[in-house]
Chain A
Amino acid sequence: MRMVNFRLSYNARRVAFALAVILVLSFLLLPTQLQTVFQAVGSPFGWIISWPLQAVAGIHDRIAGVWDHYVALQGVEEDNRQLRRELDLLKEQNGQLRESAAATERLATLLEFKQQALPTLIAAQVIGRDTGNWYKTIILNKGTSDGLQSDQGVVTPAGVVGRIVKTTSSTSVVLLLTDPNNAIAGLIQRTRDEGIVGGTTHGTAQLKYIPLLSDARPGDRVVTSGLVGGFPRGLSIGTITRIDKEDEALFQSAELVPEVDPNHVEEVLVILPTSFPTEGERLKAPKIKR
């Protein structure tokens, strides 16, 4: 194949070089706050692109549905899915009951509990995954027009999925729990030790900054601590499989297997930010007995 040497018109070349210089300078000099401006301007653009995206996702889902229901194992797949849903619900109920029992035991003698309000949840469907290879994210089919915003927590009945990091008017990007750039406040349910849950490059999760004196062990369940926004207290995150304790380290860390397999999530629930009480609101001042 022969490529011919073409002369670029002087004006076009000048425009190209000027744009390139502006780009490099803006990359070096523009403040991070301008990201939100670019994001806002890009929202209508994202809305336009979300139509073909959802169309492709719809076709993909139909093909996958036909394959799952008629080709692969026919009825067994549906039964399996139903049983998994029930198992997820039971796990969630079990986790919440354990959490309630632990909280009641600790605080019943000190405080009169205000009934904990269930958070308001918005259901959304997963329509895609990250367009690159550097982040582990999923794309939801709902965005700012449905009330979704950055930093809102995303869960399934089984447990935590991740946190919204970006929205357009009709789509949202959720950074998964298993992404190394994520950080969610976690709590070991048995020992009540707190830490930060983040992802690993191996696709699992880890609980960091566990106090050295903690007797956490494999098999312990980790739930959200509710200290940082996005998630109420007590949602399942994962189960500890290994404790890492290095010499002269100030903290321990633990490897977790997440409750939710992020590679097979199809529908999720988004937690609205003001729908659950904060720790301060939930724990009223104790009444003085006379």
Chain B
Amino acid sequence: MKTLIYIALIAGIVSIESVLLPHVSLWQVKPDLGFVAVCLIGLFGGELEGLLVGLALGWAMSLFSAQDVLSAAIMKGCIGFIAGLAGRQVAYLTPPLLVVGLFTVSCLLGLMTPVILRLSAQQNVWWALWSVVLPQAALDALIGGAVYWLISRYLSLDQWVSEYRI
């Protein structure tokens, strides 16, 4: 059941990311829903779940992007794994703290991306920072915070985490 939910989530995220989000982009930069989803899944589901869903989601997203399969899957998988580790160490998680955390991690990943993907010479770190990384991190953090606020408001997270976390 959980696997089916994750497959549906992956299919939904890929569809929304490629069709609808270009219309709500900020300076032609759209939020990375996959990043937000993997972070939240890792945070609440644990390292293994974050890693596996991250791998699958990264792979699926790479099929509809020019990004190569390996780097996309590995980046998302590592994010899920790190989110799982972080979630285990955090005693109190509030929406503002999550927003700051998502913003920071998204910035770090965004700054590493031009190097990892071996983009063209024009797409250097400074260009990336101002044109892609900061707007995307801001959007990721806002969306992640909003989703977390909605989940925590309507679901009993402590109970859910204690029952389902691997």
Within 8 A of A (CB), among B1-38: 10-12, 14-20, 22, 28-30, 32, 34
Interfacial chain B residues near A55, Cβ < 8 Å: 15
Does the CB pair B10–A49 fall under 8 Å? yes
- The prevalent SS among residues of B at the interface is helix
Q: How far is the CB of A232 from chain B (nearest CB, A)?
A: 24
A130: chain B residues at CB < 8 Å are: 18, 64-66
Residue among A12, A30, A131 facing the most chain B CB atoms (10 A cut-off): A131
In the complex, the answer to whether A131 meets B152 with C-beta atoms within 8 Å is: no
Q: Which residues of A contact B68 (CB under 8 A)?
A: 35
A65 within 8 A of B: no
Tell me the bound Cα distance from A15 to B70 in angstroms: 20
Contact across chains for A38 and B69 when beta carbons are under 8 A apart: yes
Stretch of A75-83, A132-140, A189-197, A237-245 with 4 or more beta carbons under 8 angstroms from chain B: A132-140
Of residues B10, B73, B122, which shows the largest number of chain A Cβ atoms within 10 Å of its Cβ?
A: B122
Decide if B145 is an interface residue (CB 8 Å cutoff).
no
- B-side contacts of A97, CB under 8 Å: none
Given A45-B60, A134-B117, the answer on whether A30 and B70 have CB atoms closer than 8 Å is yes
A128-B64, A200-B122 given as contacts; is B166 within 8 A of A49 (CB)?
Answer: no
Closest Cβ of chain B: how far from A153's Cβ, in Å? 16
A38 to B60 alpha-carbon distance, docked (Å): 11
Expressed in whole angstroms, the Cα–Cα distance for A4 and B157 within the complex equals: 10
Contact with B65, one of A12, A20, A34, A137 (Cβ below 8 angstroms): A137
- A165 to B65 Cα, complex, angstroms: 9
Q: Which size class do B's interface residues fall under?
A: 35 or more
Q: Is B99 on the interface with A (CB-CB < 8 A)?
A: no
Interface readout for A28-69 with B: 1 if CB under 8 Å, 0 if not? Answer: 001000110011001101101101110111001000000000
A73 to chain B: which residues have CB within 8 Å?
A: none
CB of B74 within 8 Å of the partner chain: yes
Residues in A1-21 with C-beta less than 8 Å from chain B: 1-6, 8-9, 12-13, 15-17, 19-20
A4 touches B19 (CB 8 A): no
Q: Which of B34, B59, B94 contacts A42 (CB 8 A)?
A: B59
> At the interface, is chain A mostly helix, strand, loop or mixed?
mixed
> Which residues of chain B from 86 to 123 have any CB-CB distance to chain A below 8 Å in the complex?
87-88, 90-94, 113-114, 117, 119-120, 122-123
A134 and B91 contact, CB distance less than 8 A: no
Give the contacts of A151-192 with B (CB-CB under 8 A): 165-166, 168, 171, 173, 175, 179-181
Tell me whether A265 is interfacial, beta carbon within 8 Å. no
- Give the residues in chain A near B91, CB-CB below 8 Å: 2-3, 5
Give which listed residue, B32, B66, B71, B157, contacts A173 with CB less than 8 A.
Answer: B66
How far is the CB of A210 from the nearest CB of chain B, in Å? 18
The B-contacting residues of A in range 60-104, CB under 8 angstroms, are: 60
Flag whether B132 is at the interface (Cβ < 8 A). yes
A49 touches B17 (CB 8 A): no
Residue of A nearest to B44 (CB): A3
| A127 surroundings in chain B (CB, below 8 A) | 18-19
Asked if A109 CB lies within 8 Å of chain B CBs, one says no
**A53→B18 CA distance, assembly (Å):** 8
Contact A53 B162 (CB under 8 A): no
User: Nearest B residue to A14 by beta-carbon distance?
Assistant: B48
B69 touches A56 (CB 8 A): no
Measured CB to CB, the closest approach of chain A to B151, in angstroms, equals: 10
Instruction: Give the Cβ gap from A66 to chain B, nearest Cβ, in Å.
Output: 15
Residues of chain B contacted by A115 (CB below 8 angstroms): none
A133 to B65, CA, bound (A): 9
Contact indicator A4/B59 (Cβ below 8 Å):
no
Q: How far is the CA of A48 from the CA of B55 in the complex (A)?
A: 17
* Listed A/B pairs (25) with beta-carbon separation below 8 Å: A1-B94, A5-B91, A6-B88, A15-B48, A16-B51, A20-B51, A20-B77, A23-B78, A24-B74, A26-B70, A38-B70, A38-B73, A49-B10, A49-B60, A49-B64, A52-B14, A60-B19, A128-B18, A131-B62, A131-B64, A132-B65, A134-B113, A134-B114, A139-B18, A173-B64
* In the A-B complex, the 3 residue pairs with the closest CB atoms: A128-B18, A135-B66, A180-B120
